[in-house]
Chain A
Amino acid sequence: MSSGSGSSRVPRRGFLAVGAALTAVVTLSACGAKTDAAGSSSDKAAKIDVSGDTVKVGLLNSLSGTMAISEVTVRDSLKLAIDEINASGGVLGKKIKPISEDGASDWPTFAEKAQKLIKEDGVAATFGCWTSASRKAVKPVFEKNKSLLFYPVQYEGLEQSPYIFYTGATTNQQIVPALDYLKSKGLKKLYLVGSDYVFPRTANKEIKAYAKANGMTILGEDYAPLGSTEFSTIANKVKASKADAVFNTLNGDSNVAFFKEYKSAGLTAKSMPVVSVSIAEEEVKSIGTQYLAGQLTAWNYYQTTTGAANAKFVKAYKAKYGQDKPTSDPMEAAYTSVYLWKAMVEKAKSFDPEKVKAASDGITFDAPEGTVTVDGATQHVYKTARIGEIGTDGQIKEVWNSGKPVKPDPFLKGYSWASGLS
């Protein structure tokens, strides 16, 4: 405490001067655009770094947290596609340089990392996100910076951002065909079980609207928190309801507990089949085929899907990441999304997002799931719907498909029963 009393005044004066300067700075900076200012956004597009012989793309996936188990496989699949493209000469003569960021299963972190990829790294496009919540968090970031996101996972529809390409299924390419399938089999009394977040709640709203218009009844609707493992009550309620089938929108670990309780309640795939929309090959492995054999899933791709493109994809994936690693629908959609972007860029002859978007309509790719086509109006993709039955070997066997790729209809405009939904 040796500082004398004399020194106490100097800093105070200094502080006042600083304060005055700050007031000036703040006043000066207080003249930004108002919300209603029109046409102020022309020069805000993010700068894409195309210097040198590489072009950067962002990979935005959860590499830690509860979603990591699923999203890491998507990241691996994206890298496979990038490696393949680089090996065959890259895009517009430039090699793709992936920059991977961890969204950490935390939605605001996704938004932060998206900003970093766009503003600091100058990526030409970003691939990733899994949960709807993470997509909703990054959507304004991509829109404000006029940068592109390729989103590879099936989702609940009712969205169409001008800066997002949706390469997974929307509702009418997955959930509606699954309901059609149940109806055709005479399974008309349904019980809905889902995780408590946006996708299941919105999907169930759509399912209820469908049921009402198609003479089906919904006997019950239950939600469990994400990550919950307590399902004895729900399994008993399902059993007591005497439903024909269960529509399952549970995500992640909860499926393990749910199917165990389902079996111990005495319910089987014969007595009351479960249709799941979030269980793919990777999840089948972790839940166990003793609980899942005979149950149904709805996707657009299975590892068993026939065709040369898929044989090549499965072989390349296993060669790179291990023979025991299965391939799944979101992985396939992610892999496909990189090739679709490449085709759009080559058609546009530019990495500029606006030109890429303009070139997107009608772009096709011979994907592992079959030929997919980009619908420029919705920025979704024509996809074939497939219902599969889980086998004892952990593979999913297709039991029905839509025959041809289904036109994406994210707002379900072509379905009269859905008129009140959006």
Chain B
Amino acid sequence: MNVLKGRSARAWAGFAGAAVVLFAIAPLALSDFRLGLLAKYLCTAMVAVGICLAWGRGGLLTLGQGVFFGLGGYAMAMHLKIADAGPGNLPDFMQLYGTATELPWWWKPFENPLFALAATVLLPMAVAALLGLFIFRRRVKGAYFAILSQALAAALAIWLVGQQATTGGTNGLTDIQGFFGYSLDDPVNQRLVYFVIAAALLLLMAIARQLINSRYGELLVAVRDSEERVRFLGYDPANVKLVAYVVAAGMAGLAGALFVPAVGIISPALIGIVPSIEFVIGAAVGGRASLVGAVLGAVAVAWAKTALSEEFPAAWTYFQGLLFIVALAFLPGGLASLAVLVRRRRKASPAQQTAAVPLGEAA
């Protein structure tokens, strides 16, 4: 009992601390440009929350989160492009590359802001549900699941590139001016977008924490560690995995949707194989099984990418590679396991640790 209360108190303190940092300290300490970058990093952190749930807790190596990030991003960007063009006009790139004189039928629903907003989350979830049903019912797992996810990410990126007249091709959807009537030109509105993203991240973390601490969360870890045993206990592991996969997809979709007003672009380059791997690497460096670890890892890796590339324009990719190798070779549980290691050293009473070390090597 005491243990649970202590945990919950620490979690509340953590949330309060994170809120102070995100909402008070960061906006005061950072320039508009740096705050904009932080908004971008927080979007990758939102994807990492889903990865923590699906991979860290559920053992599903989700190497294709770019698909869901992209679906959310495109759903949002399509609406914003239509809104920018104004009623009766085609988005700028369609006038350039297309031959059509009116919106394609599959763009039309996105004219409605409510439909577009709902679609940013529900569309990725629906795709994940459909896919998950086929994959998990057929007991596809491990490397096969990972390869399938990758193939899907590649396929979506290639399809988007090919449909230049209706998707903007490799350029993606760029030059987004407004966000539901507010001009993204204005630094005040950019700041507002940042606040929305920070709030969304905390909300997703709260949801994920609730799921992880629930009975379902226990079941998910059980499926990760021994799927057959769970099956013999009378649960259907396919459904358990499906929920984690779908929730993670929804989170990636929301992240993609908020990425669009923050950065002003969504393109196939953001949803293919490489970005999908980068999402996972952030979570892995931080510690995939720990919610805080995954989020901080995602932010840290994205930040390091910017910082190193500014200092060493020609050599930063090597640093990035080195960072991953060091983190994964010496700290397979990610940076989060460092804290646990230190605590274990200090306490030196291994009996109490079992509850606090939730990491398994299942992948």
Interface of A toward B, CB cutoff 8 Å: 1-5, 7-8, 11-12, 14-15, 18-19, 21-22, 25-26, 29-35, 37, 40-41, 44, 63-64, 100-102, 104, 106-109, 111-113, 115-116, 119-120, 131-133, 136-137, 139-141, 144, 158, 196-198, 201-202, 205, 223, 225-226, 422
Residue of A nearest to B13 (CB): A11
Residue of B nearest to A5 (CB): B5
- Beyond contacts A18-B16, A116-B310, A196-B161: 20 other A-B pairs, Cβ-Cβ < 8 A, are A1-B352, A11-B13, A15-B12, A15-B15, A15-B16, A15-B19, A21-B23, A21-B24, A32-B188, A32-B189, A33-B185, A35-B84, A37-B183, A40-B183, A102-B313, A106-B269, A133-B269, A196-B162, A225-B158, A422-B95
Interface pair B2/A102, CB less than 8 Å apart: no
Q: For A30, list chain B residues within 8 Å (CB).
A: 192
B231: Cβ under 8 A from any A Cβ: no
Q: For A115, list chain B residues within 8 Å (CB).
A: 33, 36
8 Å CB interface, B233-282 against A: 263-265, 267, 269-270
Kindly provide the distance from the CB of B248 to the nearest chain A CB, expressed in whole angstroms.
22
Interface pair B174/A140, CB less than 8 Å apart: yes
Q: For A136, list chain B residues within 8 Å (CB).
A: 171, 174-175
Q: Give complex CA distance A40, B177 in Å.
A: 14
Interface pair A139/B12, CB less than 8 Å apart: no
Residue of B nearest to A226 (CB): B170
Interface pair A12/B12, CB less than 8 Å apart: yes
Q: Give complex CA distance A119, B84 in Å.
A: 25
Given A3-B10, A15-B12: A35 and B97 interface contact (C-beta under 8 Å): no
Given A11-B16, A136-B175: A3 and B310 interface contact (C-beta under 8 Å): no
* Partner of A29 from B84, B195, B267, B270 at Cβ < 8 Å: B195
23 residue pairs of the A-B complex, CB under 8 angstroms, read A8-B9, A11-B12, A11-B16, A18-B19, A18-B23, A19-B19, A21-B23, A26-B199, A29-B195, A32-B182, A32-B187, A32-B191, A107-B170, A109-B309, A136-B174, A136-B175, A137-B174, A137-B267, A140-B176, A196-B158, A196-B161, A202-B96, A202-B97
Q: Give complex CA distance A18, B187 in Å.
A: 24
Interface pair A32/B313, CB less than 8 Å apart: no
Kindly provide the distance from the CB of B280 to the nearest chain A CB, expressed in whole angstroms.
18
Q: Give complex CA distance A26, B197 in Å.
A: 12
Interface pair B16/A101, CB less than 8 Å apart: no
Q: Interface readout for B166-210 with A: 1 if CB under 8 Å, 0 if not?
A: 000111101111100111011111011001000100000000000
